Copies of this chain bind each other. A is one copy, B any other.
Amino acid sequence: MVKNVTFKEARDGTADCLQCSIRESVLFAGVEDSAFEKLHDPIDQYTLPVGATLYHAGDMGEKLYTIRSGIIKLVQYLPDGSQRIVRLIRTTDVTGLEILVGETYQHDAVVLQETEVCALPVRVVNNLSSENPGLHKELLNRWQRALTEADAWLTELSTGSAKQRIARLLLRLVKNREESQCSLFAREDMGAMLGITTETASRTIAEFKRQSLLVETAPNQFLLDIPNLTRLAED
């Protein structure tokens, strides 16, 4: 069983949004420098270790988060206690948007790979967005992006045989990269993403390794045979 550590306010400092290296692709991309200077509320930055929980389902929060680096899983639970991972949040993604419409967090957000986040108070986002058509547009974009992602998880990662699902997950992990290299998640997490058991995930990965569809170049660093995985994923 994967154990979860709680996010204990391990604050790194105050973000300097004006200098942020990923600002171009981030929520605030369209916001003027001058607007930032009017902020009273500082935007805090944190570094979270593997296993930390950024927020809990049902909590009434007042922050959204942008991910500067790392990977976070969004988890929901079934009445019987089993978990299902509904999405992954990665660099430049925003999570916790539901707070903006007054909902509680809809998932547990748990760190899979060490993650740097910026915590944006709802108030700040609301203030900025009411005066910034750019930010506002960007917010809608993020919402739509999350929705597109959710749909893809249904069609790609929850449909077809275990082999197909694993292949599609692997391809997703390297998508938009020059390199076909990636690291994998714990088998239990892969199962929870794909709606299969831990054992089936393990067996399938092991089989892929034997067939050299996956080659381990270093501990948990794999090169993918993209053409053959693609073929597998599609039929």
- Cβ contacts under 8 Å, A137 to chain B: 101
- Cβ contacts under 8 Å, A154 to chain B: 76, 84, 86, 150, 153-154, 158
- Cβ contacts under 8 Å, A235 to chain B: 79-80
Q: A140-B101, A155-B78, A158-B158 given as contacts; is B148 within 8 A of A147 (CB)?
A: no
Chain A, interface size: which category?
A: 35 or more
Q: A86-B155, A154-B86 given as contacts; is B80 within 8 A of A144 (CB)?
A: no
Q: How far is the CA of A144 from the CA of B68 in the complex (A)?
A: 23
A100 interfacial by beta-carbon distance below 8 Å: yes
Q: How far is the CA of A159 from the CA of B158 in the complex (A)?
A: 9
A-B contact pairs, 17 of them (CB 8 A): A77-B155, A78-B234, A79-B234, A84-B154, A84-B159, A98-B147, A98-B148, A101-B140, A103-B148, A106-B147, A106-B148, A143-B143, A146-B147, A147-B147, A153-B154, A154-B154, A158-B158
